[in-house]
Amino acid sequence: MKGIVLTAMDDEIYEVLSDNEIFADLFNGALFGGNQIIRPDMLEQENEKKVMRVGKEGGRRVILRRIRDVQKLSGLRESCLAVVLAAEGQRNVHYAMPVRCMLYDAMDYTRQVERMVKKRREEGKLEKGAEYLSGMKREDRLLPVITIVFYYGEEQSWDGPLCLHDMLDIPPELEPWAACIQDYRVNLVCSGTVESSHFRTGLREVFELLPLLKDKEGMKKFLETRKREFMHLDAKKGWLVSKFLNVPALKELKENEKGEVNMCTAIEEMLEERETQGIERGIEQGEIRVNQLIEVLLRQSELDEAYKQIKRAVTDRDYQKKLFDKYGI
């Protein structure tokens, strides 16, 4: 099996989600309405590597291998009850996410069954019949698996499927019985699906800022109303925000003697830089379109006629737009 190489960005997100306090806050805020169901001290790191035998092909055993982003095991209420929690970080929309999550969860449940069967067989206490055939007793139970998809892309507009049925081309003849076709729902976590006040770590600021990254005026108004808070932001919160917002200026912030960072200036600089880059890209794209138009006119017309059209297109913006539409540029 070849090793999976993490990009610097992937590595940073893995580092953040591996923090028990942040991981617990992500689940408590996103799924449990801010109720502290998962405690950081109850979390144990699980192996993210998944391996499952799925049969044979061409006489060779087929092994399915997958790697989750971050997975942990959590106890509940000081008891022996537990739940398997997994988080998939997405900076981009994934159009096969329901199948991806379904596969990960199925591999987790399969692994639990295999471990339980192995234990029961070693004990040698299985009754003949159903118990011996399945390798499990009727009272045996599996740990529930909860997977969330944390989408932190700048667009914050997930246009991909949110359940397996969204991916299926169900024939009209089967639509009345669509409920018979098993579905699988994605627990999508993004700024549009959560209430930022439900979070206790820097995830609150992450969800507040993400939808404003492409709204310069909205970001300015937000920072103006929260200026004091963001000028004296806890250093760990600032560190967390810098990872998910992917703003280079934020990553260079230095904390003061009080363990605080000033994020206002960094965000304002980021907005100005992006505006300049946007103008430069607009100019560059405009130049490319004009050059393409000139090339088309020189191919389509006699030299004198092409010169006249080019001259008019340069001075008459309406005429230029008509030519762009005419030649699909």
Task: State yes or no: pLDDT of 236 exceeds 70.
Answer: yes
**Averaged confidence pLDDT in the chain:** 81
Mean pLDDT of 118-144: 91
Kindly give, in sequence order, each residue whose CB lies less than 8 Å from that of residue 43, ignoring residues fewer than 6 positions away: 20, 23, 24, 72, 73, 74, 85
Mean pLDDT of 235-248: 82
Joined together, the tokens standing for residue 274 give 């992006």
Which three-class secondary structure string do you get for 174-216?
HHHHHHHCCCCECEEECCCCCCHHHCCCCHHHHHHHHHHCCCH
| Per-residue pLDDT, 104 | 87
| Per-residue pLDDT, 171 | 94
C-alpha 268/C-alpha 250 separation (Å) is 11
User: pLDDT-derived band of residue 201, with 50, 70 and 90 as boundaries?
Assistant: very high
Mean pLDDT of 107-129: 90
Give the CA distances from residue 159 to residues 86, 162, 212, 300, in Å, rounded to whole numbers and listed in that order.
Answer: 22, 9, 18, 40
| Per-residue pLDDT, 3 | 35
Q: Please say whether the beta carbons of 149 and 88 come within 8 A.
A: yes
Kindly give, in sequence order, each residue whose CB lies less than 8 Å from that of residue 247, ignoring residues fewer than 6 positions away: 266, 267, 270
| Per-residue pLDDT, 274 | 61
User: pLDDT-derived band of residue 1, with 50, 70 and 90 as boundaries?
Assistant: very low
| Per-residue pLDDT, 12 | 79
User: pLDDT-derived band of residue 6, with 50, 70 and 90 as boundaries?
Assistant: very low
Most confident residue range from 108-117, 193-202, 272-281, 304-313: 193-202
What confidence tens digit (pLDDT) does each residue in 138-153 have?
A: 999 998 889 999 998 8
Task: State yes or no: pLDDT of 21 exceeds 80.
Answer: yes
| Per-residue pLDDT, 193 | 95
- Percent of the chain at pLDDT above 90? 34
| Per-residue pLDDT, 50 | 47
C-alpha 135/C-alpha 187 separation (Å) is 32
Q: Please say whether the beta carbons of 293 and 286 come within 8 A.
A: no
C-alpha 118/C-alpha 165 separation (Å) is 35
Bigger pLDDT: 300 or 96?
A: 96
DSSP-assigned states of every residue in 265-290: HHHHHHHHHHHHHHHHHHHHHHHHHH
Task: State yes or no: pLDDT of 22 exceeds 80.
Answer: yes
Specify the DSSP class assigned to residue 198.
G
Bigger pLDDT: 58 or 7?
A: 58
SS3 292: helix
C-alpha 329/C-alpha 309 separation (Å) is 16
| Per-residue pLDDT, 43 | 86
Which of the residue ranges 73-77, 185-189, 305-309 would you say has the lowest mean pLDDT?
Answer: 73-77
Task: State yes or no: pLDDT of 75 exceeds 50.
Answer: yes
| Per-residue pLDDT, 2 | 37
| Per-residue pLDDT, 203 | 95
Most confident residue range from 203-212, 297-306, 318-327: 203-212
